[in-house]
Each structure stands twice: as C-alpha cells, then as structure tokens.
A and B are shown apart, each in its own frame.
Chain A
C-alpha cells in the first residue's frame, strides 16, 4: 500500500533499547512538567530530560548505564527506540511523546503500547508507534546498534538491523493509518470536515 509523504519511507539510526512497562514518569519525570510545551523555548527542554527517569540499569539494554539524554544536548542521537510490553503506561501526559520527539526519536517499536500514549503519538503526530508480536526485540537488539525501519509498505513495516544480519516484519499500521498519513488528528479532521461542533 502506498502512502502519503507524512509517513517517511525509512527511518535510520542508532537504536535505544528499554524493557517492559516503561511508564510516562520514566519517559519524562513530573518535576519537569511545569514547563509548557506550547512555548517553543520551553518545549525543546523536554528533549534534554527525555527518559531521565529510567533507573540506571534500565538505561539502554542490555548493559544499562547509557544515558538517553542530557541537558543542553542536541537531538537525534537515537531516532529509534525499541521497547518491550506496555510502553508509555501510567500518566496521560502528552509531554512524554513531546520529550521523545524533541530528543529526536522518530519511531518507537514496542510489543504493544499503553493506549493513551499510543493515541497521543498518533493524534499529535509526534512519532511512529510500531508494534510487533513477533518476538522480544528488546532482548535481541542491543542499544547503539544501527537500525533501518522501512515504512514504505505500511501493511508490512520492517526493521532491519545490519549488525545482527536480521530483519523483522512488524504489525501493519492498521486503523490509525489515515491519521498517520494526514500527519495528525487536526489535519485528518480538517480534510474530512470534522472540525465543527456536531
């Protein structure tokens, strides 16, 4: 299936690996939530603190101790995050998606997502949430390995990791595809005349 330009054909770069049940307090700790992401100068700071709530042993599997972000750092070190089950559980804070986006994350691949985080990712157009039931990618891949997430065929996304000489087929993007293709919920709704009260 072909798709619009809002979904990139390929996302390439180093992978950061985390485990199961990474909640939004770990993705962006509550002490930073007085920053208002609708103000540009405050929004970029979320990237500095992204994933700073991870305990040290969970910071970049399998070894841990790889800080995901640091204050003042430029974005883009890890464009792909690979996680286990239930990524983004806990609080509804959209700041979690924003922190990852500001840190340069363009896709998170998890076995499945907590539903509010998933909806936020899609409706806000922050990053591509890809799911895989195939196997424990978070146990197979090591932090720092380069990956290529190929989204050219949205019904059959593929993650390729050259260091492991392995490719995994991920779940189809599914029913959220029209919103991903439009870019976000507002673009989707505006194109369909859904922006008026009903």
Chain B
C-alpha cells in the first residue's frame, strides 16, 4: 500500500520509511513563520523557556512577516512590531520584512510565496490558521500556536499526528464564471466546518490542475474552514516553475503514490457547479448566488490572503470595468507587490487601479485589513451591524468587526457583481 502526499512528506520529515494515520511523529520543520499578533508572545515563550540569550535553531528557517495590525493608531500594535524588529535584529534573521521599509510585504501567506519560502516536499509551520495556504505548493503546511512555535524556534521540530486523508476530485475545466473560491465553498458546504477536523484534504482532477498558482492558493487557503489540518495539491510543472521563479534554494518535491489510502473520496464536475456564497454566520452555510439574489448589501470587501491577489482583482475588474459600485466597496491588496500590480495589470488596456477608482472603490494599503476586524480604526472594518459581501475566508459572528454584522463570503467575481448592483448578484449577469 502506498502513501498519500501528506504521509510521504511527514514520513521524510520524521526520518521514517513510512507512516500511517494515527501515528505520532516528531517532524523536522523547514520553515517557521510568525507575524505581529502571534510573534511577540511566541518570542516571550521562547526566551522564557530557552533563556534570555538563546538563539533560534536556524536563522535561515525563521521567517517573520508583520501583516495584521499595520495601518492603525493602536500604540500596542506598533509596540508589537517593535518587538519583532528587535528580535529579528538580535537574532540576525535574514527574512524579516519590516513595516515602513521597502521590504514590507503584507499578508504573510502570500508574502511567503512571493519570497520563495513555499517549496514542494517541505514542512512549513506558522502561527496563523491560514498557513495551510502553502499546501498549494505541494508541501505540508499547517497553523500552530505560540507555545508550539516557540518550541520549534528552539528545536526545529514538533510532534504531529499523521492525519487520515480526504480526497476531492474536480473534473473539467472551470467555466469563466467560477473561481477557486466556488470550489472550496462547495467542499466546505459538503463536509461542513468540522468535516476536515484532524484530517488532511488532498485535491486532484483536471479542474484543479487547470488553476493558476494563485487560484490553487485560494483553494487550499480555506481548507482550515473545513477544520482541515492541511490541504495539498500534488506538485506539477506549474508548481515547479512558480517556485523556481522565486527561489534558488534547492528543494526535493514528493508526489503521492497511486495506491495511497484515503478515508473518503468526493468527486465534483466543475461544469455543473454554480457561483456560491456562504451565508451568515458560517463558511459552510452554502447557497448559490441565485438562491439569495436581491439580498441587499451595505458594503463589499475585496482583500485578504483568500481574496486579495492579482487574479482576484483581475476577476473583479472584469465585472467593474465601465461600471459604478452602488455600495461602499473596499479593495485591499494582500501585499505591496500586489498593490504595485494594480497599476501594471490591465483589463482591456485600463489598469486595475484606474478601473476600481472609476467604479468608486476605496483602495487600501496592503495588510490583513478588515478580514479579521482588527483594531477599531482598521479600514473597512464593520463597526456597526451591516450586511457585507466579502472575498475573505471566514464569516463567524464578529469576524469582521461588530458581532451583529452579517457577512456573506463569495468569489471576487460575485463580490464585484454584488457591489455593482448593491445586492447579491450572480456574476453571470455581467459576463457576456
């Protein structure tokens, strides 16, 4: 019997010829990532446990990316970035992306990929639930807490239980009105927000391999919304080319065995799927956009690791070009590279930035922004009960601010169409 990709990666990382679901292993970590919310407490635990003058196990493997609370007057948020800066300097960390400098990136999960830190076959742990995003590159990636991250900082390893694997096969290329967001909302709507708990989610089928790297990241990013431990796509030539374009570091991809054992397999035909939303207040509260069309919205939001990449903005711009939004609409690029890309990427000759500005959108600086609410002065935060349609990942009560607010999750195409109409709208209305 062969192994799934998750099993193969964790077997190699733990020095075992093979592993089986249910086993606990000590896995070596290739990259540990932290940010401004979980970094300072992680650093606190690291010094408490390993000593005031302790050094990280491998400074080439610790990546620190401030991204959560950046454009705020919150003094403590600034203090937290100071803590990261001092630690990076003291430890001489080469991969610290400081606020207020040319190196500043923005949302860590996207920045990791832009900077070549996501590599097939490796183990990446991060103090953020959406760390799973890097599984799009064919590596084992999952979120950890501060205590675990501090342990990894000192030792380079962590105990992990080998999860059983669920397999999701998407057949057929996506029609132009569907995006990876619709695929993952299909999965979450099918298995529920707890259907992947303690499990790996692997994705397959020509529908998945036809996706760009950014779209693959969206798909895997929300595996945590099904409770998944990690998500994975077998690396192919698209993956390898994308990684080699970003890093000269050597890496050894692994691919799943043909006869690996899966707990359960789900098959979907992309040609029969429809644009979806997740209604308030759970990512598994699935409906088609058409089932809830004419639902009035007060705000639209495009941003975050889930929905703030160039592909996401190209899709939204296709809908918004030559049109006006009817509700307050926020465009928050995930990273500074993407922010620059808004000026260089074009639809029908017009830059994304020009299209969004002409449509009446507010463009914000790159960060996690209002996806998780954040400090009260965060741009786009839902500071009162209102209805918002968003390309972000999570809509539990209070996620984007006020706990009485109602958030609908949808693809950037559906968010853009809804912004133009001021009510939830299937994007096919705008795509000729």
Q: Which residues of A contact B (CB under 8 A)?
A: 21, 23, 25-26, 29-31, 33-39, 42, 53-55, 58, 85-86, 89-95, 97, 112, 114-116, 119-120, 123-124, 175, 184-186, 189, 194-198
Q: Is B194 an interface residue (CB 8 A)?
A: yes
Q: When the two chains form their complex, are residues A36 and B155 in contact, meaning their CB atoms are under 8 A apart? A: no
Question: How many B residues have CB within 8 A of the partner chain?
Answer: 59
**Interface pick from B98-106, B266-274, B368-376:** B368-376
Given the interface pairs A34-B375, A38-B45, A53-B398, the reply to whether A197 lies near B57 with Cβ below 8 Å is yes
16 sampled A-B residue pairs with Cβ under 8 A = A34-B375, A37-B41, A38-B48, A54-B397, A86-B194, A90-B399, A92-B38, A92-B131, A92-B143, A93-B37, A115-B197, A115-B198, A124-B145, A189-B151, A197-B57, A197-B155
B 189-200 binary contact with A (CB < 8 Å = 1; else 0): 000011001100
Chain A residues near B128: list those with CB within 8 A.
91-92
Question: Which residues from A are CB-within-8-Å of B324?
Answer: none
Chain A residues with CB under 8 Å of B21's CB are none
Q: Contact at B44–A119, with CB atoms within 8 Å? A: no
- A120–B157 Cα distance when bound, in Å, is 16
B430 within 8 A of A: no
**Closest Cβ–Cβ distance, residue A7 to chain B (whole Å):** 18
Q: Assess A89 versus B148: contact at CB under 8 Å? Given A34-B77, A53-B397, A53-B403.
A: no
Q: Is B146 close to A, CB under 8 A?
A: yes
> 1/0 per position for B70-84, CB-CB distance to A under 8 A?
000010110110010
**Inter-subunit contact A123/B282 (CB<8 Å):** no
Tell whether, in the assembled complex, residue A195 and residue B155 are in contact, meaning their CB atoms are under 8 Å apart: yes
What residue of chain B has the Cβ atom nearest to residue A20's Cβ?
Answer: B194
Give the tally of cross-chain contacts (CB within 8 A).
Answer: 163
**Docked complex Cα distance between A29 and B376 (Å):** 11
Q: Tell me the chain B residues, 291-322 only, with Cβ under 8 Å from chain A.
A: none
Q: Does the CB pair B151–A185 fall under 8 Å?
A: yes
| A25–B396 CB distance below 8 A | yes
Chain B min CB distance to A44 (Å): 14
Closest CB of chain A to B373's CB: distance in Å? 5
Does B276 lie at the interface of the complex (its beta carbon under 8 Å from any beta carbon of A)?
Answer: no
Is B235 engaged at the interface, CB distance under 8 Å to the other chain? no
Q: Kindly list 7 other residue pairs between chains A and B, CB separation below 8 angstroms, not including A89-B193, A197-B154.
A: A21-B282, A21-B396, A31-B373, A33-B37, A86-B194, A114-B227, A116-B129
